Amino acid sequence: MLNKSNILFKRTAIFLILAGLFVVAGLVINNATDEFVVPIAIGDTNTEYTASEDFQHLERANRAFINLVSKTKNSVVQINTRVRIRRDESSRLERDELRRRTLEEWFGFRFPDDMQTPEVPTPRRSQGVGSGVIVSEDGYILTNNHVIDSANEIKVTLPNGREYEAELIGQDPGNSGVSGTDLAVLKIDAEGLPALPFGDSDALEVGEWVIAIGTPLNLSQTVTRGIVSAKNRRRFSNIQYGNFIQTDAPINRGNSGGALINIRGELVGINTLIATGGFTTGNIGIGFAIPSNTANALLPQLIENGEIVRGWLGISMEKVSHELAEKLNLDSTQGVLVEAVGPDSPAEKGGIRHGDVIVEFNGKPVQGSSDLMFTVAETAVGTSVKIKVVRNQKEKVLKVKLERRTEEAVASLRNPVESAPEMIEPEELPETEPFAGMQTQKLTPELARRYGYNNEKGVIVVNVEEDSPAADNGIQVGYLIKEIDYITIEDLADYRKVVKELENKGEELALVYVKSPNGSVNYLTLKINSNGTEDNR
């Protein structure tokens, strides 16, 4: 009896233990299927979510990006450069002498007087890393000019690790006297390479997904993702013809020359520069890429000629403000105001004058100064174009033959004086009554000498009131008033006559043409009261 009780007890214990294991493991018998099921809450939730339509969309998007990277990454290469730099002997001697004196002060002993620095300066090597994009199967590679500028050796490493010596084919520097796009073309001796097709950068939309591939911080084949943040960002870092795409796809040092790619797997930009803030020099979500349409248009010329030849008009210009449009009775703010015309330039030969508003170039409306600059640059040298201007509120069509943009041509429009002379109190002369918050005197030979004006006519500003229209527009003591409302001002008599006419007409705006002591000229639209005094509204 005792033995049967022990056996029953053991069987009961075993049953309870097994039952407990079933409960702990969450094991359940499904009567309908005669299958064991383990009901885990997390598993149930994941199964339900992964079966949802939202997850399927995300999974397809995720897979699409993975496929996009796999399809395009082999077209982006790493570029390593070496630059041999000869140390400047005088600078090195001064640096060594400073170190020697510092050590003597720290340790309280004097180095032997015959201790000399070697007289032959030793060369040193500077190394750089950037990125590039394969744009043809036979080895042409696009990159930034600043990646390879001044390099003695250029080496390209493909994603498979194979290295090639690269030949520099063409350059369009972004920081020269005729500043261009900061593009360059290299060539390696290879065939059958995975070229990245060009996309239409003009068709990009703000908010569109893009990926950036490059070699940031020497980390090759790095992929980042973001969106197009803005378009048509212009003139960054002295690059005149960048017309950049802005993106928040993370870009850092070494990404320069790499690819900005749309979701179709097309090259839409060459990553070029980043904006930084505070003490950081890394990515803050503001990067810029040269549009693919710009690069694609310049590529044949860079390969064939090794450089870019651009058209030249020969003017300095400013946008049309709302005040100027109101003053000149223009229908809109489209167009550009000509501030200066270069001597012997195509513009001067074609009859363009300062004060003209250019509204059309070869039948195409001019949107603004950057638009005209790009249009002129893209027009072949020697082309005769029709330029429509508004002069004295009347339209006039002029014929101008474009010439080549060169450093000498650009220099002809630069300020003749490098820096403004020291401002000196003008001599005691009768001043005019305040006009737009400024007072003037006649330009005497002494004042002309002090402020650097040679063979100039006009009246000189001797006082500018704070918070006046003149001050708000940047007019300072020493500025020369040369025109008001297109009327030439040669002396105080002309000045007083024009101001009086403005008072009698009750004009609210005056278009003033001024020259500063550093040689720059500007048209300024000043708000005035009908009585000719400053308007502080």
Q: Would you name the residues annotated as active-site residues?
A: 146, 182, 256
Is the distance from CB of 276 to CB of 213 less than 8 angstroms? no
Read off the amino acid at residue 424.
I
Tokens of residue 62, six digits: 């995720």
Alpha carbon 281 to its chain's center: 16
The residue ranges of DSSP E strands in 145-266, in sequence order, are 153-157, 163-165, 167-172, 183-187, 209-214, 222-233, 244-247, 259-262
Tokens 């003490």: give the residue.
279
**DSSP-assigned beta bridge partners for residue 318:** 337
b/e string for 1-30 if b means 16 or more Cβ within 10 A?
Answer: eeeeeeeeeeeeeeeeeeeeeeeeeeeeee
Number of C-beta neighbours around residue 87 at 10 A? 13
CA atoms within 13 A on the CB side of 405: 24
The phi, psi pair for 146, rounded to 5°, reads -70, -15
Q: How far apart are CA 421 and CA 266, in angstroms?
A: 54
How are beta strands 28-30 and 35-37 bridged, if at all? antiparallel
If 0-12 CB within 10 Å is exposed, 13-18 middle and 19+ buried, where does residue 330 land? middle
